[in-house]
Amino acid sequence: MSSTKIHPSWKPHLEDEFVKPYWSNLTDYVKNEYSTHICFPPGKLIFSAFDHCHFENLRVVILGQDPYHGPGQANGLCFSVNEGVKCPPSLVNIFKELKDDLGIPMTSNGNLERWADQGVLLLNATLTVRANEAGSHQNKGWETFTDAVIRIINEKKQHVVFILWGSYAQKKGAIINPDRHFVLKSAHPSPLSAYNGFWGNKHFSKTNEYLRQHGLKEINW
């Protein structure tokens, strides 16, 4: 991570972060964790969200919290799992809302690279986790980095749609300037909270309507 393998489109915007003390500490911590424990996602996929969604193409940001911590699930994109892996409950609910909103049929393929490749940054607040230990890599520096990513997008881009599901994402996205960007908020898609305002939020159609109004290409969800 010291010579961070992140997509070149992001490097000029994030290079200041890579020389800060917290980044060095985070790098050492993650390297040690991956060498002494089973961690997810695989090392080559830690920055997958940035590899698939290049800075110049970015039109939408969806904020998650933590990578999945079960075997074979996490692939570096929030809410996403590898093809062939059973969709977790939150992702099932996302697909249900997508069907209700835009009529897109439910799918068992939970790999959201198809969204990321169109300019949707699927950003977890924490980019790594120990196997079977939810939240185990929180408060080690990742949140500082992903806060910087949000700040840079907020300042350097215009007309980005930020989709904030749940109180954690909404708190993290509090710095977003609603005069420059479009901020969509609702309950989290988890079965524990989806009934509290996730259902019927129509965030997918609202995103495309906003992009269309600003002359930007819609997302093929």
CA atoms of 137 and 134, how far apart (whole Å): 8
CA neighbor of 160 nearest in space, from 73, 59, 92: 59
Which of 66, 117, 147, 179 is an active site residue? Answer: 66
CA dihedral 128, 130, 136, 140 (to 10 degrees): -40
In this structure, how many other beta carbons lie within 10 angstroms of the beta carbon of residue 133?
A: 12
Where residue 100 falls (left for φ over 0; alpha for ψ -120 to 50; beta otherwise) is: alpha
Contact in structure between 58 and 119 (CB atoms under 8 Å):
yes
66 is catalytic: yes
CA R_g for the chain:
17
Contact in structure between 51 and 113 (CB atoms under 8 Å):
no
What are the residue numbers of the active site? 66
